[in-house]
Every structure is written in structure tokens, then in C-alpha cells.
A and B are shown apart, each in its own frame.
Chain A
Amino acid sequence: MIEIKKVNNRPLNLLERIYVWEIFKGFLVTARHFFVNLFCPGKIITIQYPEITRPLEHAAKRRTRHRLKMRANGTPKCVACFLCATACPAFCIHIEAGEFTSSQVEKYPAVFDVDLSRCVMCGMCVEACPEDAIAMDTEVIPGGVLKREDMYLTRNKLLQNMPGDPSIKGAANRLA
């Protein structure tokens, strides 16, 4: 396991400058690690990620895979204002606006893609959104896929209300 070691920077003595004995000591350290890990592989702390996950703790929970919230009538809450795409430092949000003909809302996102393979999970898009339409609270950690397409979220994959979400009930949503 990793621990902090205080290094004592004194001048080297003769035995250390000859180096052979020191190499041998180092050799024993690496060999010990090798045999311990060889015979009890359970001690390796690696997590075989996509197959095995562990519950997220603390702040790590706050920014996970994106979702787009929906109004009570099922239309996306997003008004295609492009603020999130502008704020995004990784340029990974792609929006194409569509127009409502009979609604108080002018626009809706006809296309809304988030390329998770570029996203840095910074949460700027959530901060920027004036409509509180995009959120990063699905608790799904992106990554660990075999195909590029699986990292590319389209509108239909994004549109998702969480159980008990206020937008379902219609509260906190001025247009619903």
C-alpha cells in the first residue's frame, strides 16, 4: 500500500556508494512484492473496472453521466440556448435546434449529443444552463466500453427523469 516516507538526505556512506548491496536490497524488495502478489493475488488493490464497480463516495457522486430533464408533458426542458455548448471546455456538446410551432417555448433540441470520450466531467454545462435542464446526477460513471458509439450520448439516451424528480411533478418548472 502507498504510504508517506520521510527521506533523510544525508551523504551516502561507502557501502551505499558501492551500490551493489543497495541494489541487492532493492532486488529483495521487488522480489518480495512479486512473490506476495503471485501467491496471494487478492492483495492487489486493482479493481477490474467495467465488470466490478464500487459505490461512489462524497463529491465523486456529484458529477456523473449527464441527463436531460423533461417537463411533465414529456418534452425536453432544454431550450437549445447553446449556453452549455459554449461553456464546455472540451467542445463535446453538439446541439441542433428545432422550432416549436404551437408553444410558449420557441426552441427545442432536435439533436443533443454529448461525446463522453472527450468530456472531462467538469460540470460547467450544468452550471451554465439557465433552465436547469442538464444535470449530472445519474450516478453512472462513463467509460469502460468496447465501441466508440457507446461513449456517444444522443438526445434519446440523455432524456431521462430520475424517480421523484420535481420536473415530473411539474414544480420548479415555470413553463409546464
Chain B
Amino acid sequence: MERLKPFIALLDLDLLLFMAVSAVKVGFFLGAVMGFTAFLTWVERKLSSLMQDRVGPNRASIFGFTLLGLFHPIADGIKLMMKEDFVPARASKVLFTLAPVITLVPVLAAFAVIPFGNYIEILGYRVDLVIARLPLGLLYVLAVSGFAIYGTFLAGWASKSNFALLGALRGAAQMISYEVTLGLTLVGLMMVYGTADLQQIVLAQGRLLFGVIPAWGVIYQFPAFLLFLTAAMAENKRTPFDVVEGESEIIGYFMEYSSMRFAIFMFAEFIEIILVAMLAVTLFLGGWQIPYLGEAGFLFPCGRSIAIHPYAVVLAQMAAFAGKTAFMCWALMTLRWTVPRFRFDQVMKLAWQGILPLSLLNILVTGLVLLLAGKL
């Protein structure tokens, strides 16, 4: 006990409080994301069916209630858990087990720097509504999402199956190409806002352009928005960039996986949709900002103002963030069901001959404009 004393002294109240608040934030935010992911699996099936003039899943029922097929994610989960957990005889066991984890963890870690609200003051203690506020948050996201490729490649490599390896090779080529461009598409944005702190970027988007238009990233950097979405969809490995999987040809890097191990890959993919949507919202669509809503209430350009309690403002902003994210998820899924799969050479050509030069051009033009406007 005597020897522990210095350590206990180190754990002062502030640190304990900070840890407790962080734990609550992690629980709240990741819980919301996970719940939304399960919901998304249902949304995707229902959405695709409605687009194709079908009805979609509607048979899973509890006591005769189907609730529009909302029980299907539960049924899927039960089914996946009951399946045989199969490991190919020649697979390298350790890597085979590790691959799904390496796929999932970076995706979850990236959520740490995404601001889902401004801040609230509880009894004089300021709580930032972001799990970890890093000055280089944007670079952190890019760095962490770069990890995802290890999961993909290890899965293909460790299963010792030709098709899985083929999928992994395609995946490696595609993800490396698009990671380069993903970073470059965001450089222009960092130049405009002069920071890589995501919270700062969102705060900057609360300003007004010419006193009327909200200064969202999509207005400053519309081409970058399109380029970012394309690159992010490619990173996500879903149609139209799903040569990695190519259900009709090679199944892809997770071919040998079954049961919950496969479920983790699928889950990671869906969480990545949310991540891409949240990034797009944070960087380009104003994050949690609602136009004209300041910390004390609405302040319209025409001079009218409505006072709102700060807590209500924060709640409304969090709801706005959730709403924008849901909208982006919807848009991404609709795109996925609209565009046919690209051929592999087209995927590569798009990355190196399309998006890369265009994002470099975007940086150049942004720099020129900033120079001429005297902002540099």
C-alpha cells in the first residue's frame, strides 16, 4: 500500500473525471454507431429492393409481427453465429484469426476524432463532444484508415486460396492507389480552413460567406467533394469499386471465411460506410452546424434572432449531425445500387489518370485563389 501512494497521488481528480467522461463519450458514440450499423444492414436490403421495384425482406417475425422486416438483422445475426466456424487446413491460423480484427479496429479507431457536437458545460466542466480532440485529426483519420489494407491483404494471404489471394492483390492495388488520392483531395480543404483539426474545421464552417451562405466545405471545394467521395467509396470497396470482391467472379479476400469471422468483415464494411458519410459531413457539409444557429440561438442574416437554451442548441446540432450522416449513408447506398462495377483497369485508370491529377489541380487552383485573395 505504501508503495502505491505516489501512483494514487498521480491519479488526481481531474484525470479521473477526464477518464470517466471519455469513457461515457466512447460508449455513447460507438454505441450509436454500432446500432446504426445493424440498422444499415436492414436499410441496404430494403433500399435496394425498393429501387428495383421489389418488396425486400419482410418474413422474419416475432409472434407474428414483422415490422417491415426489421427483425431480419437479428435473424441474420443468429444465422451467422450458428454457422460452422471454418478454418482451411492449410491456412496460417494466427493470421487468419487476426485479419478480421485488423480490419475492424482501425475503422472503429477512426471515429475517435470525429466531432459529433460542439461542447456542453456540465457544472462548469467543459465537455467537448468529440472523443479525442487532436490538432492533426484529419491526418490521424487518413493514417488509421490506411491500416485497413492490412486486414484485407492478410485475410487473402492467410487463407491460402487462389481466389482469396487474387482478391487481396486487387484490394491492395486498389486501396493503395486510392489512399494516395484520398489524402490529396483533402489538401485543398486544409488550405482553405488552415487547420487539420476536425473540430476547428467544423467551427470554421459555421461562418457565413457574404453574410448569407453558410461557409461549408462543399461550397469552397465542390470538385474536392466529388473526388473525395469517389476515393472514399473506392477505399470502402463497395460497388462500383468492388472488383476486390466481385461476387460473380472471385468472391474476394474473405472467400474462406465463414460464421462470425465473415460477419466482422461485413460489419467493418458497413461501419466504413458510416465513417465515410461522417467524414463527408464533417469536412464538406458543415458537420454538426445548422445554418444561422449560433451558441445562443438563431441569428438570421435579415437581423431577426431567436434565443434558444444552449443545451437545446447542442441537442439540435447533434441531431443535425445524425441527420446529415443518415442522408449521406442513404446517398452512398443509392449510388452503390446505381452504378455498375468498374473493370479493374478502369479502376486503376480512374485513380492515377483521373482523380490524382484532378486533385493536384485542385490544390494548385486553391493555392492560386488563396494567393490572389491575399490569404496566404
Do A and B make up one complex?
yes
Which residues of A are in contact with B by a Cβ distance under 8 Å?
A: 20, 23, 26-27, 29-31, 33-34, 37-38, 41, 43-46, 48
Could you say which of B47-55, B82-90, B199-207, B276-284 contacts chain A? B47-55
Q: Give the residue name and chain of the A residue nearest to B58 (CB).
A: A48
Select B338's contact among A29, A45, A46, A48, beta carbons within 8 Å.
A29
B338 touches A34 (CB 8 A): no
B52 touches A33 (CB 8 A): yes
Q: Taking A33-B50, A34-B47 as contacts, is the C-beta distance between A23 and B55 under 8 angstroms?
A: no
Q: Secondary structure of the A side of the interface?
A: helix
Chain A positions within 8 Å of B335 at CB level: 23, 27
B331 smallest CB distance to A (angstroms)? 8
Which of B47, B51, B54, B335 gathers the greatest number of chain A CB atoms within 10 Å?
B51
A30 to B339, CA, bound (A): 10
A26 to B239, CA, bound (A): 14
Size category of the binding interface on chain B: 10 to 19
A23 touches B338 (CB 8 A): yes
Q: Give the residue name and chain of the B residue nearest to A45 (CB).
A: B53
B334 touches A31 (CB 8 A): yes
- Given contacts A27-B331, A34-B50, A46-B55, list 19 more A-B pairs with CB under 8 A: A20-B226, A23-B335, A23-B338, A26-B338, A26-B339, A27-B334, A27-B335, A27-B338, A30-B51, A30-B337, A30-B338, A33-B50, A33-B51, A33-B53, A34-B51, A37-B50, A38-B50, A44-B55, A48-B55
Q: Mark B36-65, 1 if CB is under 8 A from A, else 0.
A: 000000000001001111110000000000
B144 smallest CB distance to A (angstroms)? 29
Q: Give the residue name and chain of the B residue nearest to A32 (CB).
A: B51
Chain A positions within 8 Å of B55 at CB level: 41, 44, 46, 48
Chain B positions within 8 Å of A33 at CB level: 50-53
Interfacial residues of chain B within 333-363, with CB under 8 A of chain A in the complex = 334-335, 337-339
Q: Mark B311-339, 1 if CB is under 8 A from A, else 0.
A: 00000000000000000000100110111
B180 smallest CB distance to A (angstroms)? 21
Q: Give the residue name and chain of the A residue nearest to B336 (CB).
A: A30
A25 to B56, CA, bound (A): 24
Chain B positions within 8 Å of A29 at CB level: 338
B53 touches A37 (CB 8 A): yes
Q: What are 21 A-B residue pairs whose CB atoms fall within 8 Å in the complex?
A: A23-B335, A23-B338, A26-B338, A26-B339, A27-B331, A27-B334, A27-B335, A27-B338, A30-B51, A30-B334, A30-B337, A30-B338, A33-B50, A33-B52, A34-B51, A34-B334, A37-B50, A37-B53, A38-B50, A44-B54, A46-B55
Which of A23, A43, A45, A48 gathers the greatest number of chain B CB atoms within 10 Å?
A23
Select B339's contact among A23, A34, A43, A46, beta carbons within 8 Å.
A23
A41 to B47, CA, bound (A): 13
A23 to B337, CA, bound (A): 11
Chain B positions within 8 Å of A43 at CB level: 53
A66 to B302, CA, bound (A): 78
Chain A positions within 8 Å of B52 at CB level: 33
Chain A positions within 8 Å of B51 at CB level: 30-31, 33-34, 37
A41 to B226, CA, bound (A): 33
A44 touches B334 (CB 8 A): no
Chain A positions within 8 Å of B50 at CB level: 33-34, 37-38
A31 to B332, CA, bound (A): 11
B61 smallest CB distance to A (angstroms)? 12
Chain B positions within 8 Å of A26 at CB level: 338-339
